[in-house]
């Protein structure tokens, strides 16, 4: 068994409840193939950097997975077959930190170095 992080983006016109159902469906695929979901995060509806299949926004969901390569291949296959999923990406990782949220889940406060110029919050760039 190996560790993976997998993110999929669902279409913007799909409801949050439908995204949750999709997440459950994909989780079941992993658990049915003797894998386990170590971590699951729903990042919500976010604006995409560019149009993807005529969508400006998408619902992001991230899984931390401990599963076999065969289970991950089946998950990827299901991502491509589902018309509500517009993009997906899976990477193999060395560990999954269950205790801390991912960068996407942390507060909206960005370090001063990452803020746009002219942002006048404490420590902002000029």
Indicate whether 111 belongs to any domain: no
Residue ranges making up the domain that contains 72? 2-94
pLDDT tens digits for range 1-46: 889 999 999 999 999 999 999 999 999 999 999 999 999 999 989 9
Token pair 């159902």 is at which residue? 21
Query: By the 8 A CB rule, do 28 and 78 touch?
Result: no
pLDDT of residue 126: 47
pLDDT tens-digit profile of 76-105?
999 999 999 999 999 999 988 887 777 777
CATH of the domain at 10: 3.30.70.60
In-domain check, residue 12: yes
Q: Do the domain assignments include residue 50? A: yes
What pLDDT, on a 0 to 100 scale, did the predictor assign at position 105? 74
Pull the structure tokens for residue 16: 């949050």
C-alpha to C-alpha distances, 48 to 13, 17, 45, 70, 78, nearest whole angstrom: 14, 21, 9, 30, 22
> Distance of CA 116 to CAs 105, 107, 121, Å?
20, 17, 11
Residue 109 lies in a domain: no
Q: Return d(Cα 109, Cα 24) in angstroms, integer.
A: 31
Total structural domains within the chain? 1
Within a domain: 13: yes
Give the C-alpha separation, 78 to 68, whole Å: 16
């Amino acid at each position: 068994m190996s560790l993976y992080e997998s993110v999929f983006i669902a279409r913007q016109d799909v409801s949050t409840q439908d995204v949750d159902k999709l997440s459950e469906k994909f989780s079941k695929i992993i658990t049915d193939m003797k894998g386990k979901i170590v971590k699951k995060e729903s990042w919500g509806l976010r604006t995409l950097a560019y149009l993807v299949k005529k969508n400006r926004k998408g619902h992001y969901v991230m899984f931390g997975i401990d599963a076999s390569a065969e289970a991950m291949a089946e998950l990827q296959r299901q991502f491509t077959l589902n018309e509500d999923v517009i993009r997906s990406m899976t990477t193999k990782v060395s560990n999954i930190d269950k205790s801390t949220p991912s960068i996407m889940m942390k507060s909206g406060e960005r370090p001063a170095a990452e803020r746009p110029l002219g942002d006048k919050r404490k420590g902002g760039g000029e």
